[in-house]
């Protein structure tokens, strides 16, 4: 890949994830502290992204892959999204804000797959070249967190204005990207291809079925972290909470680098279990941490993000890639994304909002966070135990699953 193309793609990834990181991390703080929305409403707001994640595969299958060049679709989606995000920043009533945010996320979510598609289309060996480009997306997310934290705007609509401006910039930048024509132009694509029906055959495998269910379930307690951590840290009085949270993405990069070592030593099944255990440990750290003597627990919980994300989600994506085979690889990845970022996150957004609302207090800290964090900790622990027991039973039955072997 030429240096110019690498720079174009890396810059694209930086802007793509800067936009997301600029508004989503601190949204719970802004909606709760500034607009006075209830915790249930905050959970519903985060659920808008999950709804969009369930819709985006249909969009990709029916429009982007068949009719228009990817960079032109990106151009339109980011420009239209910039308008919705700007209007959302001006909204003060929940119904108005929710509908505008839903419209925005429906524009944004398909762009994740489109940026990946544009990148891989320019690569001879995506397995080796893509990580070096995609890591700029994580750096963009970190930069957004540091920007918001240093400007001290976590409680302000300014985060949405910044994201809107960068989204507009990204839209025009997309016109400078390498041309990526629709891969299925002129090809008749039915509803089975759009929903990834061919991947259903993978459920014949016991290990894939267990992985699929565990992935969807673990995203329910996972929503507590994504939706309410910034509000939690701000209520405790942590300065520059958004900037400090970005250390989670720093650890994500570091653990990504050492993943090949752990693949050799542990194998896929144990790596998935370590990733799930990290979620339990993170929530326990948050439950017992405080801004004084226990501040180290808060930072440990944040930094555990690298293990939580890489060892479960990245490992899971690699497992699905190997398990599915070439013919249904894309359909299988779409199916997992639908279950996790769609169904799992949507259920989690609703439950997390209900739980946080239930444990409101009259004290200096408006919520009983020690109790709140134990809810996802116990849920993650139960899922981990069930996951371990099912695979132990499978081992006893001596079923052959080479892709899950240590």
DSSP letters for 100-158 = HHHHHHHHHHHHHHHHHHHHHHT-S-HHHHHHHHHHHHHHHHHHHHHHHHHHT-TTSTH
Extract the tokens encoding 327: 């013919």
Would you call 97 exposed, middle or buried from its count of C-beta atoms within 10 A (0-12, 13-18, 19+)? Answer: buried
Say yes or no: 147 and 287 in one domain.
Answer: no
Closest CA to 41 of 389, 356, 386: 356
DSSP letters for 317-336 = HHHHHHHH-TTTHHHHHHHH
120 vs 118: CA distance, rounded Å: 6
Q: What's the CA angle centered on 346, arms 116 and 233, to 5 degrees?
A: 90
Helix (H, G, I), strand (E, B) or coil at 360: strand
Which domain does 111 fall in, by range?
A: 1-195
Q: Last residue of some domain: 161, 195, 229?
A: 195
Say yes or no: 81 and 151 in one domain.
Answer: yes
Say yes or no: 255 and 280 in one domain.
Answer: yes
pLDDT tens, residue order, the chain (406 aa): 788 889 999 999 999 999 999 999 999 999 999 999 999 999 999 999 999 888 876 665 556 556 677 788 889 999 999 999 999 999 999 999 999 999 999 999 888 878 887 887 787 877 678 778 888 999 999 999 999 989 999 999 999 999 999 999 999 999 998 887 766 555 665 556 555 566 677 788 888 888 888 889 999 999 999 999 999 999 999 988 999 999 998 998 888 888 778 878 888 788 888 989 999 999 999 999 988 888 999 999 999 998 888 888 878 877 877 777 666 666 677 778 788 888 999 999 999 999 999 999 887 778 999 999 999 999 999 999 988 887 665 555 554 445 544 4
Sorted by sequence, the CB contacts under 8 Å of residue 96 that are 6+ apart come out as none
Q: Last residue of some domain: 163, 180, 195?
A: 195
Q: What's the CA angle centered on 208, arms 389 and 219, to 5 degrees?
A: 75
Sorted by sequence, the CB contacts under 8 Å of residue 5 that are 6+ apart come out as 122, 178
Say yes or no: 269 and 356 in one domain.
Answer: yes
Say yes or no: 136 and 266 in one domain.
Answer: no
Please, what sign has the CA dihedral across residues 142, 24, 257, 377?
A: positive
Say yes or no: 185 and 224 in one domain.
Answer: no
Say yes or no: 217 and 167 in one domain.
Answer: no
281 vs 381: CA distance, rounded Å: 9
Say yes or no: 89 and 161 in one domain.
Answer: yes
Say yes or no: 190 and 208 in one domain.
Answer: no
Q: What's the CA angle centered on 28, arms 23 and 33, to 5 degrees?
A: 115
CATH number for the domain that contains residue 222: 1.20.1250.20
160 vs 213: CA distance, rounded Å: 34
Say yes or no: 230 and 246 in one domain.
Answer: yes
Extract the tokens encoding 311: 């060892």
Total domains in the chain come to: 2
pTM of the predicted model as reported, rounded to 2 decimal places: 0.85
- Is there a contact between 228 and 28 (Cβ–Cβ < 8 Å)? yes
Angle between helices 247-288 and 206-236 (to 10 degrees): 80
Q: What's 244's DSSP letter? A: H
| Backbone phi, psi, residue 82, to 5° | -60, -40
Say yes or no: 109 and 207 in one domain.
Answer: no
Say yes or no: 228 and 360 in one domain.
Answer: yes
Q: Last residue of some domain: 195, 227, 253?
A: 195
């Amino acid at each position: 890949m030429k240096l110019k193309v690498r720079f174009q793609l890396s810059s694209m990834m930086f802007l793509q994830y800067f936009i997301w990181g600029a508004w989503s991390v601190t949204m719970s703080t802004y909606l709760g502290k500034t607009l006075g929305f209830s915790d249930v409403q905050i959970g519903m707001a985060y659920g808008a992204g999950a709804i969009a994640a369930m819709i985006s595969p249909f969009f990709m299958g029916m429009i982007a892959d068949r009719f228009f060049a990817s960079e032109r679709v990106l151009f339109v989606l980011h420009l239209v999204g910039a308008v919705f995000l700007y209007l959302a920043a001006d909204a003060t009533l929940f119904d108005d804000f929710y509908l505008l945010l839903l419209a925005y996320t429906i524009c944004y979510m398909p762009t994740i797959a489109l940026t990946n598609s544009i990148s891989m289309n320019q690569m001879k060996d995506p397995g080796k070249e893509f990580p070096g480009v995609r890591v700029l997306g994580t750096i963009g997310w970190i930069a957004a967190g540091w920007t918001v934290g240093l400007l001290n705007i976590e409680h302000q609509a300014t985060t949405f204005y910044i994201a809107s401006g960068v989204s507009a910039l990204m839209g025009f930048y997309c016109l400078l990207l390498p041309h990526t024509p629709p891969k299925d132009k002129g090809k008749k694509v039915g509803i089975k291809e759009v929903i990834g029906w061919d991947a259903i055959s993978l459920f014949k495998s016991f290990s894939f079925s267990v992985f699929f269910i565990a992935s969807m379930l673990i995203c329910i307690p996972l929503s507590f972290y994504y939706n309410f951590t910034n509000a939690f840290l701000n209520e405790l009085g942590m300065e520059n909470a958004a900037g400090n949270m970005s250390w989670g993405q720093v650890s994500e990069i570091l653990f990504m680098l050492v993943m090949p070592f752990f693949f050799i030593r542990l194998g896929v099944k144990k790596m998935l279990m370590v990733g799930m255990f990290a979620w339990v440990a993170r929530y326990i750290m948050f439950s017992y941490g405080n801004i004084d003597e226990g501040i180290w627990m808060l930072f440990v919980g944040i930094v555990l993000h690298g293990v939580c994300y890489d060892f479960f989600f990245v490992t899971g994506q690699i497992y699905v890639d190997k398990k599915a085979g070439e013919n249904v690889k894309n359909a299988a990845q779409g199916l997992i994304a639908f279950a996790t970022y769609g169904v799992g996150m949507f259920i989690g957004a609703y439950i997390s909002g209900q739980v946080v609302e239930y444990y409101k207090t009259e004290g200096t800290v408006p919520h009983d966070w020690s109790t709140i964090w134990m809810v996802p900790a116990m849920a993650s622990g139960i899922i981990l135990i069930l996951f371990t027991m099912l695979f132990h039973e499978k081992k006893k039955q001596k079923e052959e699953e080479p892709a899950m072997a240590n």
